[in-house]
Structure 1
Amino acid sequence: MVTTSALIAVASVLTAFRITQSIGYSVCVGLMALEQSVQPI
């Protein structure tokens, strides 16, 4: 059987990955918008 601590560890890793992914996405969008505002194409 899977222990509770293993489930908590997996859940925390998945949550951290989602948070990192969303932060990275926001940073990429912000940088793209900044580049377009500074140097319009």
Structure 2
Amino acid sequence: MRVVVFEILFAELLHERITQLPHDPAPDVGIDEHPVGCGVA
């Protein structure tokens, strides 16, 4: 149950960052760092 909720939240965060990417190149760094931090956690 906990894993499912985490996956949904992670998918939403990732989707938001990808959606913002075309509008502002800055979030590109966030997208790069996000998966790394998630993997370490």
Radius of gyration: which is bigger?
1
Count of residue pairs the alignment pairs up: 25
- Aligned Cα root-mean-square deviation (Å): 1.0
Which blocks of at least 5 consecutive residues in structure 2 are unaligned?
A: 26-41
Which blocks of at least 5 consecutive residues in structure 1 are unaligned?
A: 1-10, 36-41
The TM-score normalised by the length of structure 1 is: 0.54
Same amino acid, percent of matched pairs: 8
RCO comparison, higher one (Cα < 8 Å, 6+): 2
The TM-score normalised by the length of structure 2 is: 0.54
